[in-house]
């Protein structure tokens, strides 16, 4: 035997791979327990939602025309009788704008109602347009510089308008006080004065706005007061079992009971027409009514004894300068 020939007795034989030992009974029992726990474990909400989403996406990406059972679809059969062919468009033939694919389904993932997204986009668009309009207006203001003389005239007009409005409010208060003095009803030797509620439209339109404003404030005050304490603790609460001595002891000897007018929430076209008048015109009517009904001059701040009003310079403020 030559040296080049390898002796089989000297061949290196690799070791046989070690076989995996069979599992013990304890290992088999643990594996069975693990498999049982996996089958018994309920999937979490997130896992179920992920599976539902995956199934929905797969179903939306699959055309019913490609499904094996599309031949038994009643919807496809009905469309075929109306002339539809797979791969074609809906509607009359020759219409290039006809839909060739179904309308895409948009799955809502939030709690917004139907149309909420379009409403949000509309509001955002309106906000952008308003902001753009405001910026344009500011730009125009910067471009148009007001002359010093125009500025002084504008400020003078605004201050004069404010002054006349204050005089209108003052004249209304004076007239209302005179009217109340003429119509006042004193009972029980002056111990109780009751202002009877009457419709606001029965008040003269010249000072009706002042009365309405006061009634609204009184109603709001009462509502706030009723939330803080019970009605039985109000100062105007009337107890039938209390006699005059009890009322005097509780500070109820001289009380004023107000009742809110029934027509406070009704529309008043006559008052609206009076309010839209310019302040000088409203003041003119108030001053004229004072002179005619009560012989009182708003500019003199004096009530004359008769209608001749001797000593009054005139009707206007300029006459009293």
**Residue ranges per domain, the chain?**
152-184+277-321, 186-239+246-276
Which CA distances in Å does 159 have to 154, 176, 265, 318? Answer: 9, 26, 33, 18
User: If you search the block for the tokens 């701040």, which residue do you land on?
Assistant: 301
Q: Could you tell me whether strands 296-297 and 302-303 are parallel, antiparallel, or unpaired per DSSP bridges?
A: antiparallel
State the Cα–Cα distance between residues 193 and 177, nearest whole angstrom.
Answer: 15
Tell me, what's the pLDDT at 165? 92
Tell me, what's the pLDDT at 190? 46
State the Cα–Cα distance between residues 203 and 86, nearest whole angstrom.
Answer: 80
The DSSP output letter for 9 is G
Tell me, what's the pLDDT at 275? 87
Q: What is the pTM of this model?
A: 0.43
Tell me, what's the pLDDT at 286? 92
Let me know: does 286 contact 223? Beta carbons within 8 Å. Answer: no
Tell me, what's the pLDDT at 150? 78
For CA atoms 270, 272, 277, 280, the dihedral sign is positive
Q: What is the mean pLDDT of each run of 10 residues along the chain (321 residues)?
A: 60 68 86 84 84 84 69 77 74 71 72 75 87 80 66 87 91 88 59 56 85 83 72 52 57 47 73 88 91 89 87 86 77
């Amino acid at each position: 035997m030559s040296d080049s020939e390898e002796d089989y007795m000297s061949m290196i034989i690799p070791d046989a791979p070690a076989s995996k030992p069979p599992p013990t009974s304890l290992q088999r029992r643990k594996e069975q327990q693990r498999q049982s726990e996996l089958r018994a474990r309920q999937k979490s909400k997130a896992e179920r939602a992920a599976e539902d989403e995956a199934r929905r996406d797969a179903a939306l990406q699959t055309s019913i025309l490609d499904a094996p059972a599309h031949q038994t679809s009643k919807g496809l059969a009905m469309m075929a009788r109306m002339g539809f062919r797979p791969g074609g468009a809906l509607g009359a033939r020759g219409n290039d704008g006809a839909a060739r694919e179904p309308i895409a389904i948009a799955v809502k993932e939030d709690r917004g109602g139907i149309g909420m997204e379009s409403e949000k986009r509309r509001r955002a668009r309106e906000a952008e347009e308003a902001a753009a309009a405001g910026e344009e207006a500011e730009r125009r203001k910067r471009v148009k510089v007001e002359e010093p003389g125009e500025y002084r005239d504008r400020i003078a007009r605004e201050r004069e308008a404010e002054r006349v409005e204050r005089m209108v409010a003052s004249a209304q208060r004076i007239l209302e006080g005179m009217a109340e003095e003429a119509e006042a009803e004193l009972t029980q030797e002056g111990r109780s004065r009751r202002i009877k509620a009457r419709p606001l439209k029965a008040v003269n339109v010249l000072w009706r706005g002042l009365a309405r404003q006061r009634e609204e404030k009184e109603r709001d005050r009462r509502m706030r007061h009723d939330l803080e304490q019970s009605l039985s603790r109000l100062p105007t609460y009337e107890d039938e079992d209390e006699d005059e001595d009890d009322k005097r002891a509780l500070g109820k000897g001289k009380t004023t009971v107000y009742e809110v007018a029934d027509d406070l929430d009704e529309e008043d076209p006559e008052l609206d027409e009076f309010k839209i008048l310019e302040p000088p015109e409203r003041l003119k009517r108030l001053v004229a009514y004072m002179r005619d009904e009560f012989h009182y001059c708003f500019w003199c701040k004096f009530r004359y004894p008769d209608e001749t009003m001797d000593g009054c310079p005139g009707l206007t403020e300029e006459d009293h300068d």
